[in-house]
Structure 1
Amino acid sequence: MSGVMAGKVALVTGAGGGIGRGVALELAKAGAKVVVNDIGVSLTGEGGDAGPAQRVVDEIVAAGGIAVANTDSVSSWQGANAIVQCAIDNFGRIDAVVNNAGNLRDRMFFKMNEEEWRSVIDVHLNGTFFVSRAAANHFKDQESGAYVHMTSTSGLIGNLGQANYSAAKLGIAALSKSIALDMARFNVRSNCIAPFAWSRMTSSIPSETPEEKARVAKLQKMEANKVAPMAAFLASDAAHEVNAQIFAVRANEIMLMSQPRPVRSVHMSEGWTPESIAEIAIPAMRNSFFKLERSPDVISWDPI
């Protein structure tokens, strides 16, 4: 198969369904040999089935592509290294990593327990680091490579009942920037996508009230495979000048997301006291404060 990923090898974690499946299929369509990773468990971690990954591999092969299934877990150092080694063993190299694996343990912060916190951090944040780190030396030695990480507006902006998920996803954005800084000298890029899509992850959103039902109806219009072209582009050499950026993909809409920068400053030549901060600094900056908003409050227009 020919395309922007011709001759490349890519691995996609959490690729047994939803966004990950779409990305794996798109990469194969673009010419890549693909490692389809999925441990085949539920959103809350139950079960374990090689079927989802293998079914995606079968789809790729049926369309004339090349792929192999992998069921190792991203949440351990050993598992992550085994995923990357699967690419090396089967295809001799690795050119792109798409960190997509995820889980959910939604709970209001004041009710969240240790297991709910750790399990989400382990898969999203630790998993992204472990898989990225496992590929790093291969990228460094060949002086090329691309990372694509899935972040979320839950972390970039905020959402209710997702302290664990939000913390992990904002952490991924910072991790991506650090990877980009550390690996740029080796011609390795690292970018993030915040996807809006109806998938197994979003299907857990409550839909009982009229407002919740309306929100879910909007989400259902945003097909998971709409995210795939952006992921394939960022993984390819066509994106050689794109590094350390955060994009959001929402149906047919692509957004470049802001990153934290100073928006206002105040200076006191003799130094500040708590009283002068209250009297002068805060009133001067208050008009630039960010509101206590959630992702749907900020990105509130209908999907394109």
Structure 2
Amino acid sequence: QPFKAVLTGDESLRSRPMGRVTRPLSDMGAKFCSVEVEDRLPLEVDGGPLRPIDYALPVASAQVKSAILLAGVSGHVPVRLSEPGRSRDHTERMLSALGAVVDSHAESERWCVELKNVPERLRPLDLDVPGDLSSAAFVLVLALLGGARGELTVRGVGINPTRTGVLSVLVRMGAHLLVEPDSDQGGEPVGSITAAPTDLCATTIGADDVIAAIDEIPILAVAAARAQGTTRITGAGELRVKETDRLRALAQNLRAVGVRVEEFEDGLEVEGTDQPLTGDVDSVGDHRIAMAFGVLGGVAGNDIRVRGADVVDVSFPGFWERLAAWTAR
């Protein structure tokens, strides 16, 4: 658009590197200028015409992919991109439902997405936004660990196959899960998921799992802490540039409550235990870290206090009240 704007965010967003987004957009003709710190928000954006792009993402990222696709839509230019693995495809599904032509396919060892024949206008759409599986995962793991009173069912949750990696990992750990498809909303499959108390076992979580469950690694690490055996997570280096360094936060907090953890550059090794876990943990301003340890603290016999607990309101307002109701005994 032909005007200048300044884009900023909260403290966690201002700490995150922006280069992986601004580089491809700059290749399309966008102009960015750092206002305070190089490669960080706030950024001044100088709007103008964009050009087509064929871009290879070095790391699979739904956020970067979506930024490029949306730039193609707003700039009315075709876009082709590829990534080393298939990341979440919510943007592709929504754009298709709005009338854009988006083609996704495997090519050699990469996943390619193409935006073609960009329409002048997108058509309107009515939909009920599905519930977030990343938020539902905390509820499901609470039930699996026996923290709730028996089974818990989450209804109206999105079960997009590019987002259900967390369910696949939990099933490998022996989880008792029942997924019941319901309907579609804007191209997104929706359904109900029921979880029942389960004695989980350790597993290996690799790079492909991480792509499909990038936001659920904190709650999977908590599940691993109560599983029988040692769970190894690799290929998760992307977690070091989330709201915080999630790998470090997980390792430090798990150790703080008595779990044996080894931290690697791209992952963790978590030794499960059935011993009572007690101590203080720090959310480090990250909603998913706070909720993961809230769930672990909700398991009978554990006594865990979360500093910075109110950060959960970013994605799950009312989480603590609901957790208290689910775990009431």
TM-score (norm 1): 0.30
TM-score (norm 2): 0.28
Q: Greater helix share, 1 or 2?
A: 1
Structure with the greater relative contact order (CA < 8 A, sep ≥ 6): 1 or 2?
Answer: 1
